[in-house]
Amino acid sequence: MRPAPLPFESLWAFRIVAETGSLTAAAARLGVTQPAISKRLRELEKALGCPLVRRGVNAIGLTAAGARLAEELRGGFAQIQAAVDQLQLRPAPLRIRAYTTWALRWLIPRLPRFHAAHPGIDVEVSTSTAVVDLAREGVDAAVRTVPPGTPPPFGGRRLQAVEISPFAAPSLLRGGEGAWPASARLLGSRVRAGDWALWHQARGTVAPQPPLLFESTSLAIQAALEGLGVVICSPAFLRDEVEAGRLVALDPASIPTGDFYWLLLPTGQASMPLATFADWLVAEAAPA
pLDDT digits (tens, 9 = 90+) for 16-34: 888 887 888 888 877 788 8
Phi first, then psi, for residue 268 (nearest 5°) are 90, -175
- pLDDT at position 1: 41
Query: What is the distance between the alpha carbons of residues 73 and 78, in angstroms, rounded to a whole number?
Result: 8
Helix (H, G, I), strand (E, B) or coil at 31: coil
For residue 38, the surrounding DSSP H or E stretch is helix 34-48
Q: What is the pLDDT of residue 174?
A: 65
Residue-level pLDDT at 130: 84
The whole-angstrom separation of Cα 90 and Cα 83 is 11
Q: Which CATH code is given to the segment(s) 8-89?
A: 1.10.10.10
d(CA 35, CA 25): 12
Amino acid at 67: A
What pLDDT does residue 279 have? 95
pLDDT of residue 17: 82
**Which ranges in the chain are annotated with CATH 3.40.190.290?**
93-288
What pLDDT, on the 0 to 100 scale, is given for residue 85? 58
In the chain, where does the domain assigned CATH 1.10.10.10 lie?
8-89
φ/ψ (deg, to 5) at 123: -125, 125
Q: Over the range 56-91, which residues count as b (16 or more CB within 10 Å of their CB) and which as e?
A: eeeebebeeebeebbeebeeeeeeeeeeeeeeeeee
Q: Beta-strand (E) ranges in the chain? A: 53-55, 60-62, 94-98, 123-127, 141-146, 157-168, 185-189, 212-214, 229-233, 248-249, 255-264
Hey, what CATH topology would domain 93-288 get? D-Maltodextrin-Binding Protein; domain 2 (3.40.190)
Give me the residues of the chain with pLDDT under 50, please. 1-2
pLDDT recorded at residue 156? 87
Report which of 169, 168, 218 is spatially closest to residue 192, judged by C-alpha positions.
Answer: 218
Residue 263: alpha-carbon gap to chain centroid: 16
